[in-house]
Amino acid sequence: MTAADARPASHGGPLLTMRDIRKDFPGVRALDEVSLSVEHGHIHALMGENGAGKSTLMKVLSGVHPVGSYTGEILLDGRPCAFSGVADSERAGIAIIHQELALIPQLSISENVFLGHERARYGVIDRDATHARARELMLRVGLDENPATPVSALSVGARQLVEIVKALAKSVRLLILDEPTSALNEAESARLLELLLDLRGQGVTCILISHKLGEVMRVCDEVTILRDGRTIETLAVERDAEGVPSVDEDRVIRGMVGRELDQRYPDRIGKVGGTRFEVRDWTVDHPTQAGRRMVDGVDLTVREGEVVGMAGLMGAGRTEFAMSLFGRSYGRHVRGGLFKDGVELPTGNVAEAVRGGIAYVPEDRKSLGLLLDDDIRHNITLAGLGRVSRRGILDPGLETVEATRMSERMRVRSHGTTQTVRTLSGGNQQKVVLGKWMFTRPELLILDEPTRGIDVGAKYEIYLIVRRLAAAGACVLLISSELPEILGMCDRIYTMCEGRVTGEVPGEGADQETLMRLMTRTGGLP
């Protein structure tokens, strides 16, 4: 029996029932009579566009939004539950792993696992017992590390496993995972999905929130779709002898967006012109580790109106290259040249890069792309304050007009440009970051994982923005870990491995196998 087939025996009813959950925030109803039922030992997917209410519903379930802040009923094994906080839900066997991992990098694996419920004797932490128990739990998830290893030394995939170990240490019965593979490469994602199937076989029930439809269809037993804060439907997923699911991706997309999405990627509009930007022999050393080269002699060109892709596995050097190109925001001993129309641009700092017509949408939008506690208006105009100032003094009225215009152009769903960015969904936050850099009227737009953690509907809107920008003559460098996205959007594709460019192929006619072969080839171009 495979992990995919292994399921615990039925317990004669659902483990979790949520009935008529209603949750309001100032000026908006986030959840409107939402209901959800999850069977014992199943993997239940929760899907919907950004802002549909998925994360809010799980925060209600896990006690982040305590009883009294919502209406409706939560039943666990048929018994009513009222959670005043996260500690209450954890005592009931519910654990949530958020998209932004809640680990302390400076502490060891075992210290993170037992933080808040330390194993002690006579009031003193028993480190031997802590390490021994942590190691037992780590074996359950296939994490082959020393429990004393600092979390800061782990890969993103390993840190995700530490979060699951934390949940297992609390005797979890219901594990909620919010976009667990959004920061993982394909190999790490596959391992995590296999782990979820193994945990299901061990009797752990999972709720999986993900925008990656292929992953959901591979492992889930049911899919509940939310749209605009309401339950649309729950679909049972059966599989035939070859493992093909009874529910196809188009069926789920139709429920999520409320319409047919005939194309995942928009058609090209406009034509590609001559070379506008050229990178020559770009080399970057690690900012703190002497002698470690992160980018090694990269040569690259981008033509007018062209979308150029950059593909590579995690650690290939794509982000390091992009950040160093944008005003040397990363690394030390940055060498090489960036040329626009044959003239070398100064790239000593971000201000020079922006003046040269370069914009960079970072991979980590929350830490590097946004001021989360500020409003949409200020975030959008931040990189182009000169356009909303008169004689060096900010004009609030002009700023509001321009920010509103850009917000509407980006189709940001909000209550207005005075809404705090932190309160927006992930997709709308990404649109604000895009709007900020579109406001500077860039000639070269570098996009680093622009659709990570974003639903299919919002992805399509961002793809349209990119297409229109290219059609207007701008150059786009698109970095993505999703090979279908690279293939669907790019006119030309570079591959990277170990800091070097290992291949260059035209977008038309390229396939995933070719890209993967080039992405794993060391030594640079032949």
Is the pTM here over 0.75, yes or no?
no
List the single range of 59-68, 98-107, 190-199, 299-308 with lowest mean pLDDT. Answer: 98-107
Closest among 87, 75, 67, 70 to 36, alpha carbons compared: 75
> What is the structure's pLDDT at 523?
63
* pLDDT for residue 267 is more than 80: yes
Q: Angle at Cα 447 formed by Cα 446 and Cα 451, nearest 5°? A: 175
Task: Tell me the average pLDDT across 187-210.
Answer: 86
Rounded CA-CA distance 153/67 in Å is 38
Domains 1-93+173-262 and 273-357+442-526 belong to one CATH topology: yes
Q: How many CB atoms lie within 10 A of CB 190?
A: 14
* pLDDT for residue 201 is more than 70: yes
**What amino acid is encoded at 19 in this protein?**
R
Q: Which two tokens stand for residue 98?
A: 């958020």
- Predicted confidence (pLDDT) per residue in 93-105, tens digit: 998 887 777 888 8
- Predicted confidence (pLDDT) per residue in 423-456, tens digit: 887 778 888 999 999 999 999 999 998 887 777 7
> What is the structure's pLDDT at 261?
57
> What is the structure's pLDDT at 153?
86
CA-atom Rg of the chain in angstroms: 24
- CA dihedral in degrees (286, 290, 292, 297; nearest 10)? 70
Domain boundaries, the chain: 1-93+173-262, 104-170, 273-357+442-526, 370-440
**Domain 1-93+173-262 -> CATH class:** alpha beta
% residues pLDDT > 70 (the chain): 95
Task: Tell me the average pLDDT across 14-35.
Answer: 89
Task: Write the DSSP assignment of 277-329 as a string of letters.
Answer: EEEEEEEEE-SSSTT-EEEEEEEEEEETT-EEEEE--TTSSHHHHHHHHTTT-
Higher pLDDT, 195 or 306: 306
CATH number of 273-357+442-526: 3.40.50.300
- Predicted confidence (pLDDT) per residue in 143-186, tens digit: 888 999 998 888 777 888 888 888 888 888 999 988 887 767 67
Task: Tell me the average pLDDT across 16-23.
Answer: 95
223 φ/ψ angles, rounded to the nearest 5 degrees: -130, 125
